[in-house]
Structure 1
Amino acid sequence: MSASERFDQYMAHLSRALGHADRHAGLKGYCTGLMLPLSRKSVEPMAARVDPLHASARHQALHHFVAKAQWSDVEVLRRVCQWVVPHMDFSRGGWWIIDDTGFPKKGVHSVGVARQYCGMLGKQDNCQVAVSVSLACDQGSIPVAWQLYLPQDWAQDAERRKRTGVPESVRFATKTQIALHQLRTLLSEGAPRHCVLADAGYGVDTAFRQALSDMGLHYAVGVTSAVVVWPPGVEPLPPETYSGKGRPPVTPRRTAQLQPMSVKALALSLPAQAFQTISWREGTNAPLTGRFAAVRVRHAGGNAGKASLRPQEWLLIEWPVEQAEPVKYILSTLPESTALNDLVSCAYQRWRIERDYQDLKQDFGLGHYEGRGWRGFHHHASLSIAAYAFLMSERLIADKPAGGKKNFIERQVPAVPQDYIPRGRPARTAARGQLDHKLASSAELRTHRPSGTVPLLRPHQHE
Structure 2
Amino acid sequence: MTTYQETVAVQATIAEQAWGRMFGAAMGVIADCFARREPRGTAAELTTGLLLELDTRNCWTLAEALGHRGPHRLQHLLSRARFDHELARERISRLVIDELAEEEAVLVVDETGDAKSSTDCVGAGPQYSGALGGVGLCQVAVHLAAVTATTRVLIDRALYLPADWAADEERRTLAGVPDEVVFATKPQQAVTMVAAALAAGIRASWFAADEVYGGRELRRQVRTLNLGYTIGVASTHPVTDGAGRRWQARQLLNKVRPEQWMRLATGHGTKGTREYDWAWLDIRADDTPDSQQAGTAVLVARRHRYTGETSYFRCWAPGPATLATLVDIICRRWKIEETFQLAKGHAGLDQGQVTCWNSWMRWSLFSLIATTVLALTLATADEQTGAVRPLRLIPLTCPELVRLLRVLVLPTPARDRDHVLHWTAWRRHHQAVATDCHQRRHRLQDTP
Structures share fold, TM-score greater than 0.5: yes
What secondary structure sits across from 2:317 in the alignment? coil
Question: Which of the residues 262, 279, 293 maps onto 2:279?
Answer: 293
1:231 equivalent among 238, 241, 244: 241
**Match in the other structure for 2:269:** 283
Residue in structure 1 matching 2:251, options 262, 265, 277: 265
Match of 1:28 in 2: 44
Among residues 345, 348, 352, which one is paired with 1:362 in the alignment?
345
Matched, 1:136 2:147: yes
Kept in 2, the 8 Å contact 1:298–1:313? The answer is yes
Pair 294,16 (structure 1): closer, same or farther in 2 beyond 3 Å: same
* AA at the equivalent of 1:296: D
Task: Give yes or no for the alignment of 1:319 onto 2:303.
Answer: yes
Change in Cα spacing, 1:405 to 1:389, as seen in structure 2 (3 Å) is closer
Summarize deviations over 1:23-71 as a string: whole Å, max 9, x none.
Answer: 21111111121011111110110000111xx421xx1011100122232
Deviations 1:84-131, CA, capped at 9 Å, x for gaps: 44443754x310001111001111210011100011111000000011
CA gap of 1:216–1:2, structure 2 versus 1, over 3 A, is closer
Q: Distance in 1 between matches of 2:49 and 2:128?
A: 30
Shift of 1:385: 0.8
Cα–Cα, structure 1 residues 213 and 155, in superposed 2: closer, same or farther, change >3 Å? same
Aligned residue pair count: 386
User: Structure 1 residues 151-160 or 410-419, which shifts more?
Assistant: 410-419
Q: 1:135 and 1:397 mapped to 2: Cα distance?
A: 16
Structure ranking higher on relative contact order (CA contacts 8 Å, 6+ apart): 1
Instruction: Please tell me whether the aligned partners of residues 296 and 320 of structure 2 are also in contact (alpha carbons under 8 angstroms).
Output: no
Q: Contact 2:151/2:376 (CA < 8 Å) preserved in 1?
A: no
Name the counterpart of 1:14: 30
Match of 1:81?
93
| 8 Å CA contact retained: 1:95, 1:197 | yes
Shift of residue 409, structure 1, vs aligned partner: 4.3
1:5-404 aligned within 5 A: 5-6=20-21, 7-51=23-67, 54-56=68-70, 59-88=71-100, 90-91=102-103, 93-203=104-214, 205-232=215-242, 234=243, 236=244, 259-299=245-285, 312-324=296-308, 327-335=310-318, 337-399=320-382
Go from structure 1 to structure 2 and tell me whether the alpha carbon gap of 1:297 and 1:90 turns closer, same or farther (over 3 Å shift).
Answer: farther
Q: Deviations over 1:388-434 (max 9, x none)?
A: 1111121122135689786234555533655556979xxxxxxxxxx
Q: How does 1:411-422 map to 2 (within 5 A)?
A: 414-415=414-415, 417=417, 418-419=420-421, 420=423
Gap runs ≥5 in structure 1: 237-258, 302-308, 425-463
Equivalents in 2 of 1:413, 1:300: separation in Å? 56
Cα distance between partner residues in 1 of 2:111 and 2:171 = 23
Counterpart-to-counterpart distance in 1, 2:319 and 2:410: 53
Compared with structure 1, are the counterparts of its residues 105 and 317 closer, same or farther at alpha carbon in structure 2 (3 Å cutoff)? same
Q: d(CA) in 1 for partners of 2:28 and 2:105?
A: 28
Q: Which residue identity is paired with 2:240?
A: W
Sequence identity percentage: 24
Inter-partner Cα distance in structure 2 for 1:40 and 1:409:
20
- Provide the rounded CA distance (Å) in 1 between the counterparts of 2:368 and 2:29: 15
SS at match of 1:319: strand
If each structure's helix is expressed as a fraction of its own residues, which one has the higher value? Answer: 2
Task: Output the amino acid matched with 1:414.
Answer: A
Alpha carbons of structure 1 residues 83 and 300: separation in structure 2 relative to 1, 3 Å: closer
Answer yes or no: is the 8 Å Cα contact 1:89–1:137 preserved in 2: no
Contact 1:87 1:397 (C-alpha < 8 Å) held by counterparts:
no
Tell me how large the CA RMSD over aligned residues is.
Answer: 2.6
Q: CA deviation at 1:171?
A: 0.6
CA distance in 1, matches of 2:252, 2:102: 35
Distance 1:405 1:183 in 2: 32
Q: Name the CA shift for 1:311/1:79 in 2 (closer, same or farther; >3 Å).
A: closer
Q: Deviations over 1:237-261 (max 9, x none)?
A: xxxxxxxxxxxxxxxxxxxxxx321
| Closer, same or farther: CA 102–405 of 1 in aligned 2, 3 Å | closer
TM-score for the superposition, normalised by structure 1: 0.77
Tell me the TM-score normalized by structure 2: 0.80
SS at match of 1:172: coil
**Where does the alignment leave 5 or more consecutive residues of structure 2 unmatched?**
1-15, 288-292, 386-395, 429-448
Separation of aligned partners in 1, 2:217 and 2:271: 40
